[in-house]
């Protein structure tokens, strides 16, 4: 059997991914199906760390656009990621995986504090680690948390799970002629504002040479396909994989 191309990965799950078609809250069936895909990958011996977003519950940027203090709105977003992390932990445990939720904001009654060396140890022991509360700082997105944690734990790739099958030159939902990129350099993402991730996250990936694969999570088996090096989605890196 072909082995996966990567040994240690960070999977970035947006909050919206957990909401299913409703767009809000947590859809239990979606959660089960995502968990199933993760089980498949762990069974191949891949070390998986997950950074989960919170946009299905609360978006800091949206709150601040409506007049709320930005830092407060961002902290609310971080709390939303904690809810998602616990839901994900539950779904993954029900499928037999060993999970450790690590939070960037201390709340020791419900999750372990984030300690880098401990996170690495959990991964080495075959546990899935879920990173909650982003970086623990306002003004930083959970995409940036994914980039930061990837650098810290020396992940080989960030799997950016989306509801679309890659990066396009314009919105494929609005423009039927939108062109999908199979490969992009970090600098293209930054210069063209392609919306893969925000610029803080993209530059962190560029500076630390962490490749990103953007792919459609909604297609069953895609996490494994991305890890096997199948040509799905868009690969962002220094050189074509």
Q: Where do contacts with ligand GTP occur on this chain (CB under 6 A)?
A: 100, 108-113, 125
Rounded Cα distance between 192 and 205, Å, is 16
Nearer to ligand GTP, 109 or 177 (CB): 109
Nearer to ligand GTP, 73 or 123 (CB): 123
Nearer to ligand GTP, 81 or 234 (CB): 81
Residues linked to residue 215 through DSSP beta bridges, in sequence order: 161
Query: Shortest Cβ distance from residue 85 to ligand GTP (Å)?
Result: 12
Inter-axis angle of helices 142-153 and 199-207, nearest 10: 10
Q: How many CB atoms lie within 10 A of CB 105?
A: 18
Nearer to ligand GTP, 12 or 100 (CB): 100
Query: Shortest Cβ distance from residue 122 to ligand GTP (Å)?
Result: 6
Query: Shortest Cβ distance from residue 101 to ligand GTP (Å)?
Result: 7
Query: Shortest Cβ distance from residue 170 to ligand GTP (Å)?
Result: 44
Could you tell me which residues come within 8 angstroms of residue 103 by beta carbon, excluding any fewer than 6 positions away? 82, 85, 110, 111, 112, 113, 114, 131, 132, 133
Could you tell me which residues come within 8 angstroms of residue 129 by beta carbon, excluding any fewer than 6 positions away? 48, 49, 50, 99, 100, 101, 102, 119, 122, 123
Query: Shortest Cβ distance from residue 137 to ligand GTP (Å)?
Result: 20
The string of DSSP letters for 191-202 reads HHT-SSS-HHHH
Query: Shortest Cβ distance from residue 147 to ligand GTP (Å)?
Result: 24
Angle at 232 between CA 96 and CA 95, to 5 degrees: 5
What b-and-e string marks burial along 187-222, b requiring 16 or more CB atoms within 10 Å of the CB? ebbeeeebebbbebbbbbbbeeebbbbbbebbeeeb
Nearer to ligand GTP, 116 or 179 (CB): 116
Nearer to ligand GTP, 124 or 171 (CB): 124
Nearer to ligand GTP, 116 or 163 (CB): 116
Query: Shortest Cβ distance from residue 9 to ligand GTP (Å)?
Result: 21
Name the DSSP letter for residue 105: S
């Amino acid at each position: 059997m072909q082995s996966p191309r990567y040994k240690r990965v960070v999977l970035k799950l947006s909050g919206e991914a957990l909401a299913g078609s409703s767009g809000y809250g947590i859809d239990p069936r979606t959660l089960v199906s995502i968990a199933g895909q993760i089980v498949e990958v762990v069974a191949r011996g891949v070390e998986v760390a997950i950074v989960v977003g919170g946009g299905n519950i609360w978006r800091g940027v949206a709150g601040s656009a409506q007049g709320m203090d930005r830092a407060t709105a961002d902290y609310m977003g971080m709390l939303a990621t904690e809810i998602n992390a616990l839901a994900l932990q539950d779904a993954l445990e029900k499928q037999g995986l060993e999970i450790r939720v690590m939070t960037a904001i201390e709340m020791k009654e419900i999750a372990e504090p984030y300690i880098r060396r401990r996170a690495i140890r959990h991964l080495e022991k075959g546990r899935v680690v879920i990173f909650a509360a982003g970086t623990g700082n306002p003004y930083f997105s959970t995409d940036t948390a994914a980039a930061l944690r990837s650098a810290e734990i020396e992940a080989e790739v960030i799997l950016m799970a989306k509801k679309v099958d890659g990066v396009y030159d314009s919105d494929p939902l609005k423009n039927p002629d939108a062109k999908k990129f199979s490969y992009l350099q970090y600098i293209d993402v930054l210069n063209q504002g392609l919306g893969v991730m925000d610029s803080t996250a993209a530059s962190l990936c560029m500076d630390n040479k962490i490749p990103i694969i953007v792919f459609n999570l909604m297609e069953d088996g895609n996490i494994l396909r991305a890890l096997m090096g199948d040509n799905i989605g868009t690969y962002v890196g220094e050189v074509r994989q």
